[in-house]
A and B are shown apart, each in its own frame.
Chain A
């Protein structure tokens, strides 16, 4: 089974190379991309099943021993995130094909490289490989976000690129500090050498890592770039960014903070989590465009994930893991529905659309289910995830953060109602950009787009159905995080 781990990185990269060679023919490119991602998904399932049965899988690339060579390691948390991400990436690719968003030759290769970067972030077993994985992912995302090369995309893309580059530079700087302090970058090795450092060095490096990944994850106060840049890209690209990139940042925060044993930062993380939840959702309420409301929601939801980390208990981490697993498909599907709305009405501005419930009931239902899930209404996956977090918070008697989390949920519901009332009920306040006569034929988006969205909604509902076993898996993943002994043994033993 261990031999499969490098394949989740190698396969998409190979697919990207082949897709680049096949640049002349779009059907060939589509076939290559879908086939590659479907195979990678299969491998993701096999890895998760293997890790669930046999414990953490660690691979030494090129058979160089652990602290020197490149280590790839998959524990339950990484396996869960990997599988959900790969499934989401595949669904969005199908949506993009249906939307005809792949008319530029570089789309498919970039998309596959992005997938490789995301997978590599989850399986990287040392800090420097995590950096390389982030760069692979981000460079592909720079290309995808500026693909249209319109004035607006270039403007937003510049902010996005410069912010991420600054964070990456800080990342390398931190890596240099970690290496100077401990003489190693391997996670398993760091888990042993890092906690004995003097407090000032330990907390300094911990804070630097929190800032680096905080920019990528868009936590308060480092989120300004996100609502600025995400809405400008085509829907399918925004959807995959919204679902995955910030969550890879959250994964990196959880991974580094737990393996380095930075429990002292838990209180700070809780404060940041509360502010992220509330300020993100207040930003969402102020907006009047579907994609921008959803972009602010990304930020708000990140607060819940790092709240689980800030509690620093097994229950809290289990809540964080299940929250990320629920959030990746839900966030993606909401953006896909936003794309369907824009496709049918020509705009996502709330005051210029309305009455879609009557004219396109399918889209309304596709929006309602994940929206209720995001707000945490039972019986959807968001309820299960929020319940896990709230219980963990009550278990630690952290009343304030639990209160803030519940207020944040209500405000989430308010802003979802705003989209619902603006898009699906009533009549447009201002003249819609498309004449009513033309609207009739656009009310049926291509079946592939609708099909992909339905598949994504099914994925989110599926998470609610398997919530029980999933929570058990998350709890086991969390106990591995709290006590990294198994991780260290797996990396050094093989």
Chain B
């Protein structure tokens, strides 16, 4: 196995992972493209050492001929990555048209549920400590206004 190929695959994987963890969709797409290249290289490396072109007729010796299967797999993987990248770019464009930003947003519904729970807790807290809170009731509005 070629050390150079393995190192290049490792570099592609680490850069791809770094980009994938970003918040902007454009960077995520670039990250996925890099990861895709990394996997294709890895598929090549998994086939073993480099060798002769795998074009043999009946009766020819297969000695020193490279394994053609990983190459076929790599071709399929390249086509799929290409299609997906195009689709992701379309989504990123649509997202930009709709909201003028390509940051991946949080789940709004999830945050709504979390906020509802916080509000319920605050109400319970206020009911529990009502006496203590009313003691400072006079200072409260003034302080709030200043802030």
Binding site for B on A (CB under 8 A): 68, 128, 132, 135, 139, 142-143, 146, 149-152, 154-159, 161-162, 165-166, 168-169, 172-173, 175-177, 179-180, 227-228, 231, 286-289, 292
Contact = CB atoms under 8 A, between A and B. Distances in A.
B42 A132 contact: no
Contacts of B87: 139, 142-143, 161
A151 B117 CA distance: 26
Nearest to B85: A165
Task: Please give me the 5 A-B residue pairs with the lowest Cβ-Cβ distance, nearest first.
Answer: A180-B46, A176-B46, A176-B42, A172-B39, A228-B107
Contact of B91 (A150, A157, A177, A231): A157
A169 B36 contact: yes
Interface stretch (B52-60, B69-77, B132-140): B69-77
Contacts of B104: 155, 158-159, 162
Interface in B93-142: 94-95, 98-99, 104-105, 107-110, 113, 116-117
Given A151-B98, A169-B39, A161 B45 contact: no
B73 A287 contact: no
B70 A135 contact: no
Given A139-B84, A173-B39, A287 B113 contact: yes
Contacts of A162: 20, 28, 32, 88, 104
9 contacts: A139-B87, A155-B95, A158-B91, A161-B87, A161-B88, A169-B39, A180-B45, A228-B110, A288-B113
Chain B interface size band reads 35 or more
B76 A132 contact: yes
Contacts of A228: 107, 110
A154 B116 CA distance: 25
Contacts of B47: 179
Contacts of A175: 43, 73
A158 B45 contact: no
B64 to A, nearest CB: 17
Given A158-B91, A161-B88, A177 B46 contact: yes
Contacts of B77: 172
A154 B95 contact: yes
The binding surface of chain B is classed by DSSP as helix
A101 to B, nearest CB: 20
A145 to B, nearest CB: 10
Given A172-B43, A175-B73, A231-B109, A158 B32 contact: no
Contact of A179 (B35, B38, B70): B70
Nearest to B105: A155
Contact of B69 (A146, A150, A166, A179): A179
Nearest to A146: B91
B39 A176 contact: yes
Given A179-B70, A180-B45, A228-B107, A158 B25 contact: yes
Nearest to A288: B113
Contacts of B95: 154-155, 158
A416 B135 CA distance: 44
B46 A286 contact: no
B143 interface: no
A287 B107 CA distance: 13
Contacts of A168: 80
Contacts of B46: 176-177, 179-180
A231 B113 CA distance: 14
A156 B105 CA distance: 9
Contact of A154 (B73, B83, B98, B117): B98
A202 B45 CA distance: 19
A172 B70 CA distance: 11
B20 A166 contact: yes
Nearest to B68: A68
A471 to B, nearest CB: 39
A135 B80 contact: yes
Residue in A146, A172, A177, A286 with the greatest tally of chain B CB atoms within 10 Å: A172
Contacts of A146: 91, 94
Nearest to B84: A165
Contacts of A143: 87
A286 B94 contact: no
